[in-house]
Amino acid sequence: MDDVTRLERLRAEAPERIAAASTIEELEAVEAETIGRRSPVAELRRSLGGRPPEERRELGRRLNDLVAELSEIIERRRDLLERRALEAALAADAVDVTLPGRIPRRGTSHLIQQVMDEVVDIFVALGYTVATGPEAETEFYNFTALNIPETHPARLTSDTFYLDYGDVPEEILLRTHTSPMQARYMEAHAPPVYIVVPGRVFRRDSDATHTPAFHQIEGLAVDEDITFADLKGTLAHFVREFLGPDTETKFIPHYFPFTEPSAEVHAYANGRWLELLGCGMVDPEVFRHVGYDPQRLTGFAFGVGIERLAMVRHGIDDIRALYDPDLRILEQYR
């Protein structure tokens, strides 16, 4: 086949191949095969130099015409394919504004957290600040600094979760109450002190009113001339704020090694009295442990059980309901 015939055949066949390309990639492949650097057209152009002048001129003109013609057809096809690709992308991305929205499930803080926040708020409104301490505590801060004797039953492994850190100078345990923060805070701060300490505590307890992990809020007020009347007034205010003015409560004398005198506060709910908190006037021995002057300072402290508050307020008679993962229970307290 002579050169002119090859070019004419290309001119006849190429438009059909260009029209058949349905993507930009296919079109680029057809372009490379017809007028690209390795195409028959490029090959002929490279051969021009070795031809007689007349033939060179004639063949060169034909080549230029063909390349111009096919380039135009290819560009038109490219425009069309690009427009189609854009339209397809827009159609795929389209937002149907008439579709109903997806409403995300609304979360809520757990009832125990809600109660803790509320108790903290009541005391913050009285001028108290919030402090927090470690859940893994030393035997010293959990017991010794609080004047709890070596022989006290709370120190037994039957009551307390000890952590096994191997051969350490002091036993580490999961704190059994938030009271260790009393000593930690007083060691680090000069009086007066007005703090509340919310946190999780742990004991080997389990029944309808006790769980092995539960929450307390510790309160500590140390100043000059604080009396038992201040303790009673503050806790009565707290109970009225949290449980309502008509809630029946009573103070019962009690014993804690770190307060003297000591008491428990009980509230009446669901036909029975439920213990809410322990409290008392800070024992001078605790002041001595932290370097405070017991001649000049007095104070009161208390530790309130958060789950018990939730039980009294919501009429829950088994504490374990608070830890049931069934959301239908917790959703009632949004």
> Which positions touch ligand YSA (CB under 6 A)?
177, 179, 203, 205, 210-211, 214, 216, 218, 256, 258-259, 262, 275-280, 301-303, 305, 307-308, 319
Residues 6+ apart with CB under 8 A from 9: 1
Identify the DSSP state of 146: G
Residue (63 or 281) nearer to ligand YSA, CB: 281
State which residue, 167 or 207, has the beta carbon closest to ligand YSA. 207
Q: Report the residue count for the chain.
A: 334
Yes or no: say if 231 and 279 are a contact pair by the CB < 8 Å rule: yes
Q: Looking at beta carbons only, is 31 or 219 nearer to ligand YSA?
A: 219
Under DSSP, is residue 198 helix (H, G, I), strand (E, B) or coil?
strand
Shortest Cβ distance from residue 267 to ligand YSA (Å)? 10
- We find the least distance from the C-beta atom of residue 136 to ligand YSA, in angstroms, to be 17
Bridge partner residues of 263 (DSSP):
253, 279
Residues 75-93: b if buried by 16+ CB within 10 A, e if exposed = eebbeebeeeeeeeeeeee
Token pair belonging to 143: 């017991």
Least Å distance, CB 211 to ligand YSA, is: 5
- Map tokens 């937002």 to a residue: 95
Q: Which residues face 212 on adjacent strands? A: none
Q: Which is nearer to ligand YSA, 56 or 254 (CB)?
A: 254
Q: Which of 63, 279 has the CB closer to ligand YSA?
A: 279
- Measured CA to CA, the distance from residue 238 to residue 54 in angstroms comes to 112
Q: Which is nearer to ligand YSA, 29 or 126 (CB)?
A: 126
Q: How far is the CB of 293 from ligand YSA (least distance, A)?
A: 19
Distances, alpha carbon 110 to alpha carbons 114, 204, 322, in Å: 6, 23, 9
Q: What is the CA radius of gyration of the chain?
A: 43
CB of 103 to ligand YSA, least distance (A): 36
Least distance (Å) from ligand YSA to the CB of residue 262?
6
